[in-house]
Chains A and B, each alone.
Chain A
Amino acid sequence: METGLFSGSVHIGIIYHPPQNYPLYIRSVPTENELKFHYTVHTSLDVVDEKISAMGKAMVDQRELYLGLLYPTEDYKVYGYVTNSKVKFVMVVDSSNTALRDNEIRSMFRKLHNSYTDIMCNPFYNPGDRIHSRAFDNMVNSMMMQVC
């Protein structure tokens, strides 16, 4: 992917449910400065944790999975999404990328969630294993193509 053609970068992380909280899948476009975004995805879990615990148990069934903007920084925005099984999806996009509104982000998360569900339905996938799936990679690729 040539970064020159696109106006920004997107980073996607899928994090396994607590107490483990390790990344199941993490991907950055472009790949330079990848480490920094690993840190960003990791630190965003602080806010996700806080939001989940604030929601409490009562609302667990009818709650909104999309957590919205987790926190803004100077250069990028971090969005979060939590499935009912507490698997977390985190997306980091450039602050300058104004094309991405809340609705687009929301539908991207929904797409990710659907693909993740497909992976979970695979009887040969062991929940908790790092995701190595070509279909999933392709989906993420095409999604990133669209937004970058």
Chain B
Amino acid sequence: MMYAGCVLQLLFVRHQFKIAFFSELKQDTQNALKNYRTAYNLVHELRAHETNMLEIKTMAGFINYKICRLCFQHNTPLDAIAQFRKHIDLCKKKIGSAELAFEHAAWMSKQFQAFGDLFDEAIKLGLTAIQTQNPGFYYQQAAYYAQERKQLASMLCNHDSSVVYPNPDPLETQTGVLDFYGQRPWRQGTLSFDLSDPEKEKMGILSLQLKERNVLHSELIITLLSNAVAQFKKYKCPRMKSHLMVQMGEEYYFAKDYAKALKLLDYVMCEYRSEGWWTLLTSILTTALKCSYLMAQIKDYITYSLELLGRASTLKDDQKSRIEKNLIKVLMNESPDPEPDCDAAAVKASQKLWSDRVSLAGSNVFTIEVQDFIPFVQCKAKFLAPSFHVDVPVQFDIYLRADCPHPIRFSKLCISFNNQDYNQYCVVEEAYQKSDILEQSSQGTMCLVPGKTRKFTFKFVAKTEDVGKKIEITSVDLILGSESGRCVILNWRGGGGDAASSQEALQAARSFKRRPKLPDNEVHWDSLAIQASTMIISRVPNISVQLRHEPPALTNEMYCLVVTIESHEETVAKDVKLTAGLKPGQDANLTQKTQVTLRGTDTCDDSFPALLPDIPVGDLQPGEKLEKPIYIRCGTVGARMFLVYVSYLINTTVEGKEILCKCHRDETVTIETVFPFDVAIKFVSTKLEHLDRVFADIPFLLMTDILSASPWPLTIVTSQLQLSASMTSVDQLESYVENVVLQTGESASECFCLRCPPVTNSGGVATGCYIISWKRSSPVESVPVVRTVITLPHVIVESIPLHVKADLPSFGRVRESLPVRYHLQNKTNLVQDVEVSMEPSDAFMFSGLKQIRLRILPGTQQEVLYNFYPLMAGYQQLPSLHINLLRFPNFTNQLLRRFIPTHIFVKPQGRQADENSIAAA
């Protein structure tokens, strides 16, 4: 019964599988999937025993593969993953025969690998994977089981070499093939769980174990890992990728492919270093050191030793001590002791390599750039100041510190600069210790004691041609070992520091921790900051430059700036040169509107420069004083910066060396330029009323008003009115302000009577210009007079048809006749009909024509005569004249008012005496 049931169950699986396979052929994938799933469930219902475990797993694996593939094909990747998880959970513990446990690990590895392949294939067909769910994880797990397989194999298959492969081969079958997948060849067709022939069984297991020994496990593992690396690279997992590469490197190491191992480890090392995971870095370095030892790669061996001894290494002190001793051996051209846990055969081979290296002459100098890792010697270079004057020696310190467990000697310390001429001055060597070292001449100079900071001070005299340049430490070289043995040059680019030092400096800068007090000559390593460059600046000048002037400057004047140079030098200042003028780098317009000259007697024009460079002044004896006036003309108002720069050469000695220094002193001064005065121009009528336009042929007044804005007294030498052709003057044009001195805020006015002939165009008429010649009342030297030209405003000229002029006395007297004559002048070419009427006023009686109509011929004039008789005293309104032009309705009385007086002063009719007194007044 049991057997029958068992067989039946086997057939169920087979039946379902066949239906599924047939459906697949029919491309009915849905049914195929359904049947495969049933088959899968049936497989696990089978009674499992050690004897049929492999067969069950093999079948489950096949069906699982089919299901997952179909799920991916149906674009239901989550179903595929769920099925695979179920498959793994069900089968994980089905190890089967303990003696063949590696077989189970191999099978597990295969399951993961196959699923990874299916997943990857689905992605190639368009499925999108994510960072946390991608084929990489399955390859990684496959690799993990492959590693387990290797371990199990090494445990279970370590038979003595005397054990021979059984004969006849139990793995051979009569047909050469198996009846069913997953069956044992020596147990074909047996359904019984009982072991019929234990001896045969034993032979079978032995043959499988011996076969397993020939499997290249590492190769399998590395292939799977590299598959995983490719996937994780795709899904943004750089750290996972690095981790897998470390595992690959380690696997290569186990596979004795040290070159490949080193290549991989070296590649990922920097990632762990830059993120500061020291435990991981140390573990990688330890493997790398083993590889380099086994290959006898001296340079790599030294490099890894340097870092494993450094502060980033988490090795215990005994390990560090061992590594340091080995390093010292290598430096002495001896073979180092083998690294622990290395394969004995490989150690033997490497010892041979090392002894070959020892006997090999030449190529025993190794330069190692230590900047990019964390070596056990730390270095910081520091110039004592950010700049040095050329006449003092440049000083800097090199600080060294060792983190290794034992003191270490070095043979040489040398520093390179961007100007290589200085290199020779900055060397410490064992051979001659005196040289240029200032301190530390005691015996321990060439030895670095762990945890102690060692300082070396250097000084040299900078070259005069380096003035204004930067001196930079380009590299620091520390030489370990000797030329006779092996020589290792630790090379720091710039002023020292390594991969971890910038982060340490940041932490130290943030820290509030109080540092314990140290003896005077010692310093805290953390508090040292690298200063790898310094400026060479010119010697401090020992002359004084003083400027004397009277600000502000006035527009266009020759402004005098007196430069006084006084030498306080001990020796002759040679070749003194003066540069003076507008400081470069200001607004470009200023350059055009500023002129500088040494001769103040003549006005300079625009062709003069804004800056006078290198005016030779000659030599200055000690204590000698020299004055030099500079004249500046500023064409526009505003502030300007002026530069006065004095340079000279002088001999001086530094540290017993004579050098010729170029010194200079510069002074800048900001000078404000202001207008000397404001000029206001006004047009007024003869009645002194403001005019916004003038009438042709009618005289008017031009008034000028010069208001001094200068803080210094101004002398108006003269003024001049230059009229344009369209203007004529009524009387002589002569200056009324000649030699007038104006204090601040005072003003000087002039008045000119002008007339403008009629013009044809309706626009403005140019009036001309007003020229003021002026100077400061108290110039420093005799300076030329400045002519300031003011263009007068244009004026609108209008012609009028009729001009009325009144002829009347300047005052009237009560009850005394006041004759008034009005001249009516026709200014047109037409005959004018004029209506004249006189409006009476309360203050006057009058005789004359009250209303009249007359006719005036072109260009002629008519007179109308009135006799006014004042009735009241005071400022009285005159009877007003009204004129009406029949041809020109625009001619209004308003306009008329401009020409004729409207009021007159009437004196009272006093007594004789009063009259006299008024006349006197």
A50 close to B (CB within 8 Å)? yes
Docked Cα-Cα span, A43 to B275, in Å, equals 12
B510 touches A127 (CB 8 A): yes
B101 close to A (CB within 8 Å)? no
A126 touches B279 (CB 8 A): no
Docked Cα-Cα span, A71 to B275, in Å, equals 22
Residue of A nearest to B283 (CB): A35
Q: Per a CB cutoff under 8 Å, which of B137, B141, B280, B503 touches A42?
A: B280
| Chain B 278-315 interface mask (CB, 8 Å, partner A; 1/0) | 01100100000000000000000000000000000000
A35 touches B511 (CB 8 A): no
Q: Give the interface segment out of A17-25, A81-89, A106-114, A133-141.
A: A17-25
B745 close to A (CB within 8 Å)? no
* Residue from A42, A50, A71 whose CB has the most chain B CB atoms within 10 Å: A42
Shortest beta-carbon distance, A7 to chain B, in Å? 17
**List of A residues within 8 angstroms of B279 by Cβ:** 26, 34-35, 38
Q: A46-B131, A46-B240 are in contact. Are A22 and B512 (CB under 8 A)?
A: no
**List of B residues within 8 angstroms of A42 by Cβ:** 239, 243, 272, 275, 277, 280
Residue of B nearest to A71 (CB): B132
A73 touches B510 (CB 8 A): no
**List of A residues within 8 angstroms of B804 by Cβ:** none
Residue of A nearest to B272 (CB): A42
**List of A residues within 8 angstroms of B237 by Cβ:** 43, 46-47
Classify the interface of chain B: helix, strand, loop or mixed.
Answer: helix
Q: A35-B283, A73-B141 are in contact. Are A46 and B512 (CB under 8 A)?
A: no
A39 touches B137 (CB 8 A): no
Docked Cα-Cα span, A43 to B503, in Å, equals 22
Q: Per a CB cutoff under 8 Å, which of B88, B141, B239, B513 touches A45?
A: B239
B276 touches A20 (CB 8 A): yes
Q: A126-B511, A128-B510 are in contact. Are A20 and B275 (CB under 8 A)?
A: yes
Docked Cα-Cα span, A75 to B133, in Å, equals 16
Q: A71-B132, A74-B141 are in contact. Are A46 and B239 (CB under 8 A)?
A: yes
A39 touches B280 (CB 8 A): yes
Which residues of chain B (218-271) have a CB below 8 Å from chain A?
A: 236-240, 243, 246
**List of A residues within 8 angstroms of B510 by Cβ:** 126-128
B862 close to A (CB within 8 Å)? no
Q: Per a CB cutoff under 8 Å, which of A46, A73, A128 touches B137?
A: A73
**Extra pairs beyond A39-B243, A70-B132, A127-B510 (13, CB < 8 Å):** A21-B276, A35-B283, A38-B277, A42-B243, A45-B239, A46-B240, A47-B132, A71-B137, A73-B137, A124-B512, A128-B507, A128-B510, A129-B511
Docked Cα-Cα span, A38 to B132, in Å, equals 19
**List of A residues within 8 angstroms of B506 by Cβ:** 128
Q: A39-B243, A74-B141, A126-B510 are in contact. Are A50 and B280 (CB under 8 A)?
A: no
**List of B residues within 8 angstroms of A45 by Cβ:** 239
* A interface residue numbers (CB < 8 A to B): 20-23, 26, 34-35, 38-39, 42-43, 45-47, 50, 70-71, 73-74, 123-124, 126-129
Shortest beta-carbon distance, A120 to chain B, in Å? 13
**List of A residues within 8 angstroms of B243 by Cβ:** 39, 42-43
**List of A residues within 8 angstroms of B507 by Cβ:** 126, 128-129
Which residues of chain B (9-46) have a CB below 8 Å from chain A?
A: none
**List of B residues within 8 angstroms of A123 by Cβ:** 512
Question: What are 16 contact pairs spanning A and B, CB under 8 A?
Answer: A20-B275, A20-B276, A22-B277, A26-B279, A38-B280, A42-B243, A45-B239, A46-B131, A46-B236, A46-B239, A50-B131, A71-B132, A73-B141, A124-B512, A126-B511, A129-B507
B277 touches A50 (CB 8 A): no
**List of B residues within 8 angstroms of A128 by Cβ:** 506-507, 510
Which residues of chain B (115-166) have a CB below 8 Å from chain A?
A: 131-133, 137, 141, 144
Docked Cα-Cα span, A42 to B268, in Å, equals 13
Q: A74-B141, A126-B510, A127-B510 are in contact. Are A22 and B275 (CB under 8 A)?
A: yes
**List of A residues within 8 angstroms of B511 by Cβ:** 126, 129
Docked Cα-Cα span, A127 to B511, in Å, equals 8
Q: Per a CB cutoff under 8 Å, which of B137, B238, B246, B276 touches A22?
A: B276
Residue of A nearest to B141 (CB): A74
Docked Cα-Cα span, A47 to B238, in Å, equals 10
Docked Cα-Cα span, A123 to B131, in Å, equals 40
Residue of A nearest to B232 (CB): A46
Shortest beta-carbon distance, B80 to chain A, in Å? 16
Docked Cα-Cα span, A22 to B506, in Å, equals 14
Q: A42-B243, A73-B141, A126-B512 are in contact. Are A47 and B277 (CB under 8 A)?
A: no
Docked Cα-Cα span, A128 to B504, in Å, equals 10
